[in-house]
Amino acid sequence: MNNIKQKAFDIIKERRDYAHYIANLNQQNLEKDKEYAQLKKELALLTLDIAKDQAGIIKLAKVASAKKRAKEVPKLLSARKKELGLESEINYFCKNCSDTGLINNEMCQCLKRELSKLLMQSSNIKDVEIYCFSKIKMPKDVSKIHKDSLQKLYDGLKNYAENFPNSNKTKLTISSGTGTGKTYAVKVLANNLINKGFYVVYTTAFGLNEMLLKHRTTFSPEKDKYIEGFFQSDMLIIDDLGTEPNLNNVTLEYLYQILNERLEQNKHTIITTNLDALVLRDRYEERIHSRLFCKENATYVVIKGEDLRARV
């Protein structure tokens, strides 16, 4: 994940360089303007004369009017800048971090947003514009019970997104058969949160497993790049838990650590799965199960419906 983080930093740096470039260019063009240059020269002379007068080196004939003029000239300079449309102040894209990507060593929202976008792309979420609450179309010819439970899920997710991250319910497990619409639903949520600047990691359980294996089998100090997003993101979405191969219990071991640390740090996690709660407990052990389903902060949603993908 480090490469992606570096890419996000590079985007922010490009913005910073651009802001500086424009500010420099404006300054250079300003200096070429005769009126501006004249005023600047006048101000420098006035300031010097007033200082000399105060130090007793010279005696200015009209001190009061010189001081008055020294106050006027800066205003005239800014007016001239405006008139020419050449603001020399640096116009950063993000005013909060001055395009450094960091505030007190923490990631700024602008960096998180870029990071999420890149992660989204690398997670195979294409066509992000279709993953939008306003573009959800309910399937028409499905059972009422399926439609109702999907509608309930979308309403719940929308409400969740509006209040994010201010909810004590930080775990959500969505369970249903294949092709009932839960992947689409969590991608809509992911996209919504990313657009608000949150650091979201979406991964299939298969992709998660791959990264965990890479981390396990890499012997380089940089190996944490494979898994840091699973721990650090504001929202982690693991899609289709249960479809990944469980090699040497790698998933079990890491998944516990990931869920436990996220729980301790109050970070949000969403799991979708084709398995029901009991099967999940058998497959992922009690300690993982208890972190997914603890009453105080977990929500469990079941979509009752038929496979939408199997439809013609």
Q: Can you tell me the distance from the alpha carbon of 48 to that of 147, in angstroms, rounded to the nearest whole number?
A: 79
Using the minimum distance from each CB to Zn ion, give the nearer residue, 102 or 132: 102
Residue placing its CB nearer to Zn ion in the complex, 194 or 212: 194
* Closest C-alpha to 70, from 98, 42, 112, 37: 42
Interface pick for Zn ion out of 19, 39, 107, 108 (rule CB under 5 A): 108
- Per the DSSP assignment, residues forming a β-bridge with 269 are 171, 236
CB of 224 to Zn ion, least distance (A): 24
Backbone angles phi, psi at 297, to 5 degrees: -130, 15
Instruction: Decide if residue 110 touches Zn ion (CB under 5 A).
Output: yes
Q: What is the DSSP string of 84-136?
A: HT---S---S-TTTTTSSEETTEEPHHHHHHHHHHHHHHTT---GGG--GGG-
- Closer CB to Zn ion, residue 109 or residue 167? 109
Nearer to Zn ion, 97 or 227 (CB): 97
Of the pair 11, 77, the CB lying nearest Zn ion is at 11
Q: How far apart are the first and last CA of the chain?
A: 39
CB of 167 vs Zn ion, minimal distance in Å: 25
Interaction of residue 115 with Zn ion, rule CB under 5 A: no
Binding positions for Zn ion, 283-302, rule CB under 5 A:
none
Q: Out of 4, 30, 46, 94, point to the residue binding Zn ion (CB under 5 A).
A: 94
Tokens standing for 290?
Answer: 């208890």
Placement of tokens 């380089």 in the chain: 220
For residue 61, what are the contacts with CB-CB under 8 A and spacing of at least 6?
A: none
Could you say whether residue 96 binds Zn ion (CB under 5 A)? Answer: yes
Part of the chain binding Zn ion (CB under 5 A), chosen from 109-117, 266-274, 284-292, 303-311? 109-117
Minimum CB–partner distance for residue 245 and Zn ion (Å): 40
Q: Which stretch binds Zn ion (CB under 5 A): 27-35, 50-58, 89-97, 296-304?
A: 89-97
Q: Six-digit token pair at 188? A: 């809509």
List residues binding Zn ion (CB under 5 A). 94, 96-97, 108, 110
